[in-house]
Amino acid sequence: MIEKKVAIVTGAAQGMGYEVFHALAVRGYVAVGIDIQEEKLHKIKGVAEKDKLAVEAFYADVSDSTQVNEIIDQVYRIYGSIDVLVNAAGVLSQGEVTTLSDEAWERTFAVNTSGVFHVSKAVCNRMKENKQGSIVTISSNAASVPRTSMASYCASKAASLMFTKCLGLEMASYGIRCNIVSPGATDTEMQRAFWNEEADIEKGIKGIPEQYRVGIPLQKIANTSDITEAVLFLLSENASHITMNNIVVDGGATLGAQ
């Protein structure tokens, strides 16, 4: 058995997932990263180990429940506890509904929704044994506001948000808290792939009337650290009486809609 708390982070190889993974390791957790990007995952593990941080890395597709269950069982056998889960794995597909492929729709839900279900289910079955734990799902402000050409993403994130709230209700009697952080536009690899050019950043901040976007009142996009701090708060003892809650970190882009 190990005395350190154990945190599992999906999508740990880049973006928000990586920032959370690294922040938890720095704070003394055994940080267990899960990602489908095997090369990136092992690279960040090597960097963390050079800094003498306690980390583990597992290659897996979160949409595959068999892979997920094997990893969670292995982590539990090694450490005897899973204290924290952050569901950060996600994909973004664009396209109008009438032209969106079945494959794009299904893959978006497989990762963004079913992936959250598979990992949360496996982890909760272990957390229940110890009657404690904290889970944060990274959703999106797009879960509550319609977006053009983003129906699959919006719908999948809305589903994972409500799933996490339902999970929190079921797990409350075991002392397991389940919350959501919903970012808006954030400076990540995924977001930059969404922008075709640098001017798109300014357009997103100012607003895009033809896409029914009002812009960002705080006049800036988020850094990954903005999202990480919200996640860390919800995981911490400072949030010990908070569950089934959603913190929207979008600079006011959705005008407070949740």
Catalytic residue list: 153
Q: Which structure tokens are listed for 218? A: 């705080």
Q: Report the sign of the C-alpha dihedral through residues 200, 202, 203, 205, in that order.
A: positive
Termini Cα distance of the chain: 41
> Which residue type does 110 have?
A
Positions of E strands within 89-245: 133-138, 176-183
Q: How many C-beta atoms lie closer than 10 Å to residue 65's C-beta?
A: 16
Phi first, then psi: give them for residue 212, nearest 5 degrees: 60, 35
Q: How far apart are CA 87 and CA 119, in angstroms?
A: 8
Phi first, then psi: give them for residue 251, nearest 5 degrees: 65, 15
